[in-house]
Homo-oligomer: A and B are copies of this chain.
């Protein structure tokens, strides 16, 4: 009996004529379509073991330039200073976010943090021509400058795209990363404060894209998000844990480049500029594999995540 399991079933069980599923397309992508994530762009968060003594590790990829670079510089500084060691996960709000940092809000910060500005939540789209090449547009599956665009409900006249391994939204003059599942943002106080990068959260529910352009987005979880998304929900306001003992201790957060070679994660993303990615995105938007009877004919940006894998 097959109930619902067929959604992601492999080709071996389907007739030869059935179009490939997104997963099958990704599995068939040549090695040349995969891009190594550099150790200096990976953060490794080690949580305290769970109740059964099982280790819990979460790996984070930092956002690519030109986005959010002052915060990312600060995150590297904080990691090198071992600043997060001994802090905790303090908030788990269902269908929203998991947030971590210093619950006392009194831990001294390391020297050398850059100042930040809310102007940095977006990047100038027209000036940075490098952003305008080799993107996958969900409506046309072709270059950004061709054909009709799928509009983005979160910005009048704007649209969404995949670029250099990331999901983005863009208006006429600016581009910014989107608050999709697993993306990581920077906690802050009221404007004009823009946060320094010490207080972070990740999305564990439907994309809260109203946060786009209102918060710095600095990366995404690329492995182990289940160690955050399956944590008990906090029962305090906004999902904060009410009792200190409910917080989940953070043993350490390190740049992968500072870990011994044997402890480093070796991960790759599927190049969003590859033919494999274009075929994958097209299949996500037009499911024609065995289970489906009506292909949607489109998809929203957060329902086309960038495939990540361990390097073979």
A94 CB contact (under 8 Å) in B1, B6, B214, B226: B226
Residue from B154, B182, B215, B287 in contact with A95 in the complex, judged by beta carbons closer than 8 Å: B182
Q: Are B210 and A299 in contact (CB under 8 A)?
A: yes
Q: Does A84 contact B (CB under 8 A)?
A: no
Say whether A240 faces chain B, with CB atoms less than 8 Å apart: yes
Q: Are B290 and A190 in contact (CB under 8 A)?
A: yes
Q: Does A86 contact B (CB under 8 A)?
A: no
| Known pairs A2-B190, A6-B190; A296 contacts B225 (CB<8 A) | no
Bound CA span A138–B152, Å:
13
Per-residue CB proximity of A137-176 to B under 8 Å, as 1/0? 0110000000000111111100000000000000000000
Contacts of A214 in B (CB 8 A): 287, 291-294
Task: Fill in one digit per residue for A193-235: 1 if any B CB lies within 8 Å of its CB, else 0.
Answer: 0010001010001111111111100000000011001111100
Q: Which residues of B contact A293 (CB under 8 A)?
A: 118, 191, 213-214
Cβ–Cβ < 8 Å partners of A138 in chain B = 153
The answer, yes or no, to whether A259 is at the interface (CB within 8 Å) is no
Q: Which of B1, B232, B284, B302 contacts A105 (CB 8 A)?
A: B1
Q: Is the CB of A190 within 8 A of B291?
A: yes
Interface residues of A in 70-100 (CB under 8 A from B): 92, 94-95, 97, 99
CA distance A105 to B1 in the complex (A): 8
- Chain B residue with Cβ nearest A94: B226
User: A296 and B151: CB pair below 8 A?
Assistant: no
- Residues A4-42 near B (CB distance < 8 A): 4-8
Give A contacts to B, CB under 8 Å: 1-8, 51, 92, 94-95, 97, 99, 101, 105, 118, 138-139, 150-156, 180-182, 187-191, 195, 199, 201, 205-215, 225-226, 229-233, 237-238, 240, 284-285, 287, 290-300, 302-303
* A–B complex contacts, Cβ < 8 Å, 12 sampled: A3-B188, A3-B199, A6-B189, A7-B238, A92-B230, A151-B151, A191-B291, A206-B206, A210-B285, A214-B287, A214-B294, A226-B232
